């Protein structure tokens, strides 16, 4: 009898797999804070073969996202513990073979299945505590999606606060920033079990949604602080100059990516 399931643990039925097979559908909101940092700090985080973006190479974005997600049978929607999670991630732009990509430098999530799903795609996800203000339409316990609406967001890992930001809406817009506006380029890595410094998996991959939809979008001003941590390097991407902030409703569906480069690994004797 074969073992089944998209990811581990695999079983006879595949029911126990932490991550279901694709496609995956996402609906949610993004709070994006774009700023400029030291160009050399961005450059040192790019993999071999990737170069800095031609224009504004020191521009990065930290993005707080709140998602609801499901697969084609929509079973997760009626079991929301399996359909909801938050994440915070840092994006820069880079070039590979003449094409511009968005590159996720760091990312934190608050759910195990989102973490493992990200590892499959090449996102370097880690667990954290993530909070972001939710807009309201009644009452006073939250920001309104209108000029003057104020949002806060934070991410904390291993009890160390990594980032805290505020955003105030100044206008409606039809865009959500420029840093995270390209196909993603990731690395999929897995060290060899021998522990000799070699890899059993080493790929450069790209991906984008096969369908997407945008909802309401707002632009505004931001205030962003980054904090030191003994096990994180986010603070090295120092905020030198705020650019702008955005709040946006988004939805997309993802099925697969493309391998750009696969490093030849030594044969096993």
Q: What is the mean pLDDT of residues 138-145?
A: 97
Average pLDDT, the chain: 96
Q: For residue range 223-249, what is the model confidence (pLDDT) as tens digits? A: 999 999 999 999 999 999 999 999 999
pLDDT at 268: 61
11-39: b (≥16 Cβ within 10 Å) or e: eeebeebebbeeebbbbbbbbbbbbbbeb
Residue 168 has pLDDT above 80, yes or no: yes
pLDDT above 70: percentage of residues in the chain: 98
Average pLDDT over residues 77-91: 97
Q: Which structural domains are found in the chain, ordered by start? A: 24-187+204-255 (2.40.400.10)
DSSP string, 49-96: TEEE-SSSTTEEEEEEEEEEEE-TT-GGGGSGGGTEEEEEEEEEEEEE
Residue 4: is its pLDDT beyond 70? yes
User: Is the per-residue pLDDT at 264 higher than 80?
Assistant: no
What pLDDT score does 120 carry?
A: 97
Q: Report pLDDT for 14.
A: 94
| pLDDT one-digit tens code per residue, 179-202 | 999 999 999 999 999 999 999 999
**What is the pTM assigned to this prediction?**
0.95
Amino acid 266: pLDDT: 60
Cβ burial 157-192 (10 Å sphere, 16+ → b, else e)? beeeebbbbbbbbeeebeebbbbbebebbbbbeeee
């Amino acid at each position: 009898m074969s073992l089944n399931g998209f990811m581990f643990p695999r079983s006879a039925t595949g029911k126990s797999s932490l991550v279901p097979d694709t496609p995956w559908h996402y609906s949610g909101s993004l709070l994006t804070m774009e700023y400029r940092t030291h160009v050399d700090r961005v450059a040192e985080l790019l993999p071999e073969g990737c170069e800095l973006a031609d224009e504004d190479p020191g521009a990065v974005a930290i993005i707080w996202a709140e998602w609801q997600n499901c697969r084609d049978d929509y079973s997760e929607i009626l079991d929301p513990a399996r359909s909801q999670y938050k994440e915070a991630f840092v994006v820069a732009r880079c070039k590979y073979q003449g094409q511009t990509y968005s590159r996720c430098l760091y990312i934190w999530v608050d759910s195990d299945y989102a973490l493992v799903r990200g590892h499959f795609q090449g996102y370097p996800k880690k667990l954290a505590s993530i909070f972001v203000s939710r807009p309201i339409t009644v009452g006073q316990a939250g920001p309104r999606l209108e000029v003057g609406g104020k949002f806060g967001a934070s991410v904390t890992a291993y009890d160390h606060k990594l980032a805290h930001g505020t955003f105030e809406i100044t206008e409606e817009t039809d865009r959500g920033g420029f840093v995270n506006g390209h196909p993603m380029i990731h690395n999929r890595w897995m060290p060899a079990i021998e522990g000799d410094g070699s890899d059993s998996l080493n790929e450069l991959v790209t991906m984008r949604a096969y369908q997407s939809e945008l909802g309401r979008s707002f632009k505004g001003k931001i205030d962003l602080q980054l904090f030191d941590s003994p096990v994180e390097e986010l603070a090295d991407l120092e905020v030198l100059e705020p650019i702008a902030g955005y709040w946006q409703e988004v939805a997309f569906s993802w099925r697969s990516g493309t391998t750009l480069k696969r490093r030849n690994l030594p044969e096993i004797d």
